[in-house]
Amino acid sequence: MDKLEIKSKIESLRKELEEYNYQYYVLSQPTISDFEFDMKLKELEKLENGNPEFFDTNSPTQRVGSDINQEFTQVKHKYPMLSLSNSYSKDELIEFDNRIKKLITEPFEYVCELKFDGASLSLVYENGQLSKAVTRGDGEKGDDVTANARTIRSIPLHLKGNDYPESFEIRGEVLLPFEVFAELNKVREAAGEQLYANPRNTASGSLKMQNSAEVAKRQLDAYFYYVLGEDLKEDSHFETIQLAGKWGFKISQHTKKCDSIEKVFEYIEYWDKARYDLPVATDGIVIKVNSRRLQNNLGFTAKSPRWAIAYKFTAEQVSTILESVSYQVGRTGAVTPVANLSPVLLAGTTVKRASLHNADIIEKLDLHINDVVFVEKGGEIIPKIVGVDDSCRHPMSTKVEFIQSCPECNTELVRQEGEAAHYCPNETGCAPQIKGKIEHFISRKAMDIDGLGQETIDLLFNQNLIHNSADLYELKAEQLIHLERMGEKSAERILKSLEQSKQIPFERVLYALGIRFVGETVAKKLANKLISIDAIANSSYEQLIDIDEIGGKIAESIIKYFEVEDNRRIIKRLQSYGLQFQLDQNSLADRTEKLVGLNIIISGTFEKYSRDELKKMIEQHGGKNVGSISKKTSYLLAGSNIGPSKLEKVQKLGIPMISEDDFLKMLED
Ligand code: IVH
C-alpha cells in the first residue's frame, strides 16, 4: 500500500470502529462481536504505529488512555458552569411556575429531565472533533481532563452526520453504572481494600485520576443534557438535545415535554419510584423552560438560571425496630456490624438488614436494642440507619457495645490506630478468613479452578477435607464424589483444573495467595521485578518500596505475610505440588541488567514498538519506567507528538532525550 492508500485505510477503519463503538456504548445495540472489533482495532493500531504521521488523538486506538501521569491544567469556561436552584416540594415548584408565568406572557412549555447524580463535564467540539473536556471546578474554571474523557466510550470523538455547529459546548454527567460500581467493589473486597462509598464519588474520583489508562478501565458512562453555542439551529432545547443524540451523544430517553405544572408533577411521581430501575444514579429531576429564546429572556441570577429548577428526590426514609446487631467476618478479618431490623418496605424492596459500617457509627448513633430507628436508601445502595427516635426508647433497653472478640473463633479483636475497622488477627485459624482465602485462591483471575465455588469450598471445609489452599492439591476423586450434588464428571473436572493450574504463571499464583493489598497489578509488578517468591519473601521494606507503585502500606503487608510460619509452610507445599513460583524461563532468558539504575519516562508515539512493549523492555533490562518527570529521571524516551508542557519540563531540568533507535542501541551491546 502506498501512503495515500494507507491514509484512506486508516481513516475508513477509524470511522468504522467509531460507528461500532456508538452502536455498542450509546445505543446499547452491538452489531459485531468483541473479537471482530478487537481484530479491526489491532489492524488500525498496526497501521498507525507503522505510519506515525497519521497520528490522531481522537483515533479509537487512543481510547485506552496513557499511563503517564498527567497534571491537569486549569481552563476557563467560555460559559460559566452554573448550578441549579433546588426545590424539595410541590409548593416550591408552584412558586417557580408562578414566577415564570409572571415573566413570560406567551404560551410556553417545560422539559422534564432526570437529574443524573455523577460528575458534571463540559465538552468542546470544533469542526465535529472533541477538542476539550473540562470539569466543573469552581464554575468559572475547571480541570482539563480531555485525555480521561477520551477513554469514556460513550463520548464521541468525531461527530456523526454533518449538521452540527462548527463550534459548540455540550454538558453532561459522567456516571459509573451501578453494575460496574458493584463489580469494582467486589474486586476491592477481594484485594482487602476499603470499599468505595457510592457511584457518584467514584465517578468523580475516576474522572480526576492522573493516569488515563486507569480511567479507561473504569467503564464510565456519560449522558448529555445541555448544548451551548452561538449558531444552534433549533429554538427548542428538547429538539437540540434530540439533534445531539443524532451527532452521537448519549442522551436520556426519558426526557419529556410538559405543557403544565401538573404534567410536571406526574413526571416526578412516576420517576420517584421508577428511578430504582435505572442503570445509573439519579437524585431528582430538572425542569427547564423549553424555548432557548425564552430562556435567554429569563436569564440568570448570579448562581443559577431563572429558566430551570431542580426538584430533589428525598431519600425515602422509614422507621422500624432494631432487633439485634450481628457481626460478619470477611476474608481479610475485617469485622462489619450489621443491624437486623423488623422487615420494612423501603424504595420498593423489603429491608431486613442495614450496614452499620464500624464501631464509631454505632457509638455516634448511641444505638440501643429495640430502638426505633430511621432507615434510608440514599446514594449508597445498602440501606443505612440515619437516626434513632429517642422518644420511643425503653428506659431498660441495652446499649449496643461493639464485640471484643471474634464471633467466629473467639480471638480478641484488634483495631489499629487510624483504622475504622476492627480486625480478627487469627488469619490462619478463623473459618470465614480461611474459606475466604481459599475462595480467592480458586477465583477466575487467580488460579481459575473450574467447578469449584463457594458452596463446594464450604462443604470441603466443613468436612475437614481442606484448611488451606494447599490442601486442594491433595484432594482425591473419592472424597469429592461423596459431597452433596457432586457427580463423577464434576469431580473429574475439578481435579483436571487443579492439575492444569500448575501451569498458571507466577504473577497469578502470587495474586492468588491473597496477601493483603497485593492485587493483580501489584502482583505483576512484584513478579517482574523480583522474579521469584524467595526473592519477594527475603526483600526488605526499603527494597520493596523502591519498586514502582509499591508504597509503605503494601510493603508492610508483604513483610507481615511472610513472617507468618503457616503462610510459608503453605507456599512450600504449593511449590512441592509444582505450582509456578518463579517467572517463566522465556521471560527470564531475555533479562539483562543493561538499564539498571536508570529511570526512563516514555512519551509520544513510536514507529517500531508500542509503548507497552517499550515499557516491558525497560523493565526486562533492569530499568525503571517512571510515570512523571522529576529530577531523578535519567532519560526521556521520545517519540513523535510529545506534549509541549512535557518538553518544557525536561528541558528545564536538563534531562536528556533519546529516540526509539537510541534506546534500541542501548540494548544491543
Ligand atoms: S442542566 C445551567 N440538566 O446538576 C444549568 N443539570 O445543580 C445547567 N445535572 O451542575 C445544568 N442532571 O451537574 C442539567 N438533566 C440535567 C442534569 C443536570 C444532572 C447536574 C449538573 C449540574 C447540577 C446542577
Question: How high is the pLDDT of residue 382?
Answer: 76
Q: What is the CATH number of the domain that holds 642?
A: 3.40.50.10190
Which of 467, 482, 503 is the C-terminal boundary of a domain? 503
User: Domain total for the chain?
Assistant: 6
Of 416 and 463, the one with more pLDDT: 463
Ligand 1 contact via 354 beta carbon (within 6 Å): no
* pLDDT confidence band for 380 (50 / 70 / 90): low
Lowest mean pLDDT, pick from 47-51, 154-158, 453-457, 643-647: 643-647
Which of 392, 423, 454 is the C-terminal boundary of a domain? 392
Active site residues: 115
Q: Which residues contact 240 (CB under 8 A, 6 or more apart)?
A: 227, 232, 233, 234, 292
Question: How high is the pLDDT of residue 34?
Answer: 85
Ligand 1 center to 136 CA (angstroms): 11
Question: How high is the pLDDT of residue 378?
Answer: 67
Q: Ligand 1: which of 286, 290, 304 to mutate, most ligand atoms within 8 Å of CB? A: 286
Q: Helix, strand or coil for residue 184?
A: helix
Ligand 1 contact via 286 beta carbon (within 6 Å): yes
Quick: pLDDT tens for 67-94.
776 778 889 999 999 999 999 899 999 9
Question: How high is the pLDDT of residue 407?
Answer: 96
Q: Is 395 exposed, middle or buried (0-12, 13-18, 19+ CB in 10 A)?
A: exposed
Instruction: Work out the average pLDDT over 288-305.
Output: 93
Question: How high is the pLDDT of residue 33?
Answer: 87
Alpha carbon dihedral 479, 480, 484, 486, in 10-degree steps, equals -150
Quick: pLDDT tens for 383-394.
889 899 988 888
Q: Say yes or no: 90 and 212 in one domain.
A: yes
Strands (DSSP E) found in 275-368: 282-289, 308-312, 317-329, 334-346, 349-355
Which of 446, 478, 503 is the C-terminal boundary of a domain? 503
Task: Report the predicted TM-score, pTM, of the whole model to 2 decimal places.
Answer: 0.66
Question: How high is the pLDDT of residue 549?
Answer: 77
Question: How high is the pLDDT of residue 381?
Answer: 67
Range of the domain at 35: 3-64
Task: Report yes or no on 182 lying in a domain.
Answer: yes
Ligand 1 contact via 311 beta carbon (within 6 Å): no
Task: Report the atom number in ligand 1 closest to the C-alpha of 119.
Answer: 13
* pLDDT confidence band for 379 (50 / 70 / 90): low
Quick: pLDDT tens for 584-636.
877 777 788 889 889 999 988 888 888 888 988 898 888 888 888 888 899 99
Task: Report yes or no on 207 lying in a domain.
Answer: yes
Q: Say yes or no: 465 and 370 in one domain.
A: no
Question: How high is the pLDDT of residue 510?
Answer: 97
Question: How high is the pLDDT of residue 525?
Answer: 87
Ligand 1 contact via 226 beta carbon (within 6 Å): yes
> What percent of the chain shows pLDDT beyond 70?
98
Question: How high is the pLDDT of residue 604?
Answer: 84
> What percent of the chain shows pLDDT beyond 90?
65
Q: Say yes or no: 50 and 185 in one domain.
A: no
Question: Cβ distance 630 to 43 under 8 Å?
Answer: no
Q: Where are the alpha helices (DSSP H) in 482-551?
A: 488-500, 506-512, 520-530, 533-537, 541-545
Q: Say yes or no: 356 and 227 in one domain.
A: no
Kindly tell me if the per-residue pLDDT of 109 is higher than 70.
Answer: yes
Q: Say yes or no: 239 and 386 in one domain.
A: no
Task: Report yes or no on 398 lying in a domain.
Answer: no
Q: Say yes or no: 607 and 653 in one domain.
A: yes
What string of H, E and C letters represents the secondary structure of 10-40?
HHHHHHHHHHHHHHHHHCCCCCCCHHHHHHH
Question: Cβ distance 207 to 137 under 8 Å?
Answer: no
Ligand 1 center to 386 CA (angstroms): 27
Q: Helix, strand or coil for residue 155?
A: coil
**Using CA positions, which residue lies closest to atom 3 of ligand 1?**
225
Q: What is the CATH number of the domain that holds 13?
A: 1.10.287.610
Q: Say yes or no: 522 and 381 in one domain.
A: no
Q: Say yes or no: 32 and 172 in one domain.
A: no
Calculate the average pLDDT of the chain: 91
Q: What is the CATH number of the domain that holds 523?
A: 1.10.150.20
